[in-house]
A and B are shown apart, each in its own frame.
Chain A
Amino acid sequence: MDLLGTAIFLAIKSLIFIMGMFLGAAYLTLLERKFAGHVQQRPGPLHVGPHGFLQPIADALKVLTKEDLVPDNVDKVLFYLASLMAFVPAIMILAVVPFGEPFTIFGIEIQPYISDLNVGLLLALAFGSISIYGVIFAGWASNSKYPMIGGLRKAAVLIGYEVALGFALAGPIMMAGSFSLREIVEAQQGMWFIIPNILAFVVVVFCVLAETGRTPFDVQEAEAELVGGYVTEYTGMKFGLFPLAEWYIATFVLSAITVILFFGGWQPLPLLGWLPIPEFLWFFIKVFLLFMFFLWVHWTLPRYRVDQITEMAWKVMLPLALANILIVAVWIIIFG
């Protein structure tokens, strides 16, 4: 009976998380479009709802009601599976991301996370790696040259940066002595992990940009070179899931993990602790700022060539991440 109750409770909570993420991602598109618009001295979406506030809803309706074309000679199973493979792992990372400490309302204890696994970070990395399959499947199944090249490019980039990312995350884990994201946050009471781990942070920023395919690493769908990259042959919602997963959900989730690892999660910003802002709001403010930073980079920089990206991954990012481990190890020896 207890098990059933937990299952129902978890299912409802997951549903809330997923729905929230969907809606959040939809409004992240609006955020990005507005931001990009103003950076380019234009207003962005303006006409659906007040100041374009309902634009994501209109977009979702448009994408959902579009004719769903499947080209001849595609590998149908993989073609359909690919968009799910790209989308589901991205949203599954949410299962281990905590948004705050457990708190009590009306006597019920609410945990603002789905599960507090003791290997949470490993699971997040694992799920992140699965999304490579979506990209490769999309590139392969489309039976077309541009998606093929796009998929291979993305795979090459991801493999390089997954390694660097893994090593970069080792620093905070060493300092916290735990894989559980909640415990990592708790370990940052005195000092945020950004301080000894500054190299790791730089590596992680680059990795997030590379994993989510934002400039300067958006080689997989460099539209001037490859039209749409691996999504060239996709239409309708199948198409919509790729950018949604990659540009919004993945960026958001990875921003959240970065905040947890380096910026003390839901702890208030330094010197602003007296503000009457609840913990989880602090968390979202930090994630939002980091997300905006990624957008800002995206809308400023040109892009690298794919071989330069992989070269950088192996020759710069990986050594930096390893150097960071050394620094952190020395730090731990000296300061305990």
Chain B
Amino acid sequence: MLNTILFILLWVAAIAFFSWSVKKIRRNIKLGKDIEIKDNRKKRWGLVAKVAVGQSKMFGLPISGILHLFVYAGFILVNIEMLEVMIDGVAGTHRALADVFGFLYPIAISSFEFFALLVIIGCIVFLIRRNILRVNRFWKPEMKWWPRLDANIILITEVVLMTSIFFMNASDYILQTRGTEHYKEVGSFFFSSFFVPMLQNLPTETLLVIERVCWWLHIIGIMLFLNYIPYSKHFHVFLSFVNVFYSKLDPAGKLENMPSITKEVKSMLSGEEPPMEEEGEEVSFGASDVKQLTWKLLMDSYTCTECGRCSKVCPANITGKKLSPRKLIMDVRDRLELTGKNIDKHGKDFGDDKSLFNYITAEELWACTTCNACTESCPVNIDHVSLILELRRYIVMEQAASPGELNAIFNNIENNGAPWQFSQDDRMLWADELYIKEK
């Protein structure tokens, strides 16, 4: 009875705190510029199935792709077992589903154990790759202590959660064979049976403790993990599905239009007065801070799991430039988190006279070739190029601070219709003295 109350109370608390955290993130994302993404729902669901659920882009790097599949599929399937845990926890029963499923039950549990094993293998290899092999993309400058620790916390937690299942099941089985009260005979489970010899000589009391501790460790571990996720890069386990749904559907080469400028340019070309700005309408060209970015770009930052595939393929990053697409996305998230905290503390109109440019330098932004290798490689369809473009637009149009060489190009295009300083009248010179062999 006491256990049941404790169990229910813990879950209520865990879910309440989780909802509170998620609401914060949702509020932060909604600080972004409002845009409507409602087109092509069919295509979007297709993308969710392929890219998010089907993990299609993960296999660009086959080893990480397969290991990630172990952890992803394993973790989801293992947690089907949570259903029984919930029933047992609330009803005070033990392995309530064993009677329902009969001889299938040990098979089901054994297969969950198989998936748990996959998760453990995946996580351990990941830990080795990060900490011992030191795979380059996990040791770039933006991977400071917290991103590295964050990743390790996640991986170790998953190993602990999964290992507890094996010890729980193994001790459970031994208790069954000893006819211990409450531990009805449901049979042995394939993978945990390998742990049986290790525990076999322990007294019943100790086994009872192990079984119960592992059970609670698993439950409380999952509750804690759930509440850790919103404060971690691990939030991708939820947001990647949503973020992929809201993917850019246009060809990667197309950049976002700015209708506000279209109005101005049209009036300039037709020689009319530019339209008056509507009262209260704050027009900024490009973005200097998170509130001027679209909510989708802000969602991108919360979806990023810092895998670094973008930076691994970025031509600028490969050749030692400061630009790292992953860092930019992490910067947006850091800035957005701080903006959110400031709102919590000082109210919604608070400004801290900082901007994204306190995080991101012009040097990083100008190194981008807009080649879209980053967006192509991102497993959750983050749009780094749009972010870079918005910041460039601000530098050029609001600050008039573009690099001198680019200013010269702009002048040339404006004055003679080409980035080079050639007269537009010379645009046909290439065709001079052009001959073809008659056959």
Same assembly: no
